[in-house]
Amino acid sequence: MRDMEKTNPHHHHDAVAKRLKRAQGHLGSILQMMEAHRPCLDLAQQLHAVEKAISQAKKILIQDHIDHCLQDAVGDLDVDKQRTIDEFKEITKYL
């Protein structure tokens, strides 16, 4: 699997693109809702969904980069240094 990751380290980009396309669709719907003078509560709910989709896409992109590109950059490490990198990867999930 490591060889495949080196040829395509960004294997989660499809998931990011899917989320962004979903957000794009929501944005189009929101504009139509605004033109139809839909209630502000409805608009706010849809905007919240778009925000979450974009935020999640960003999180996946960054996590993918950390998980793969960072590891490739530092290469093979001794156990203690690898543990530090693994802890860094884990703690970034809480950003």
Q: How far apart are CA 30 and CA 43, in angstroms?
A: 6
Residue 60, domain CATH: 1.20.58.1000
Q: How far apart are CA 22 and CA 95, in angstroms?
A: 23
- Per-residue pLDDT band at 1 (split at 50, 70, 90): very low
The pLDDT mean for the chain works out to: 86
Give the residue numbers spanning the domain of 53. 2-94
Query: What pLDDT is recorded for position 12?
Result: 76
Residue 10 has pLDDT above 80, yes or no: no
φ/ψ of 5, rounded to 5, equals -65, -35
- State pLDDT tens for residues 35-68: 999 999 999 999 999 999 999 899 888 888 888 8
State the total domains in the chain: 1
- Which alpha helices (DSSP H) does the chain contain, by range? 2-7, 13-35, 40-64, 71-74, 79-91
Query: What pLDDT is recorded for position 43?
Result: 95
φ/ψ of 32, rounded to 5, equals -65, -40
Residue 2 has pLDDT above 50, yes or no: no
Query: What pLDDT is recorded for position 9?
Result: 58
Query: What pLDDT is recorded for position 4?
Result: 46
Inter-residue contact 1 to 67 (CB < 8 Å): no
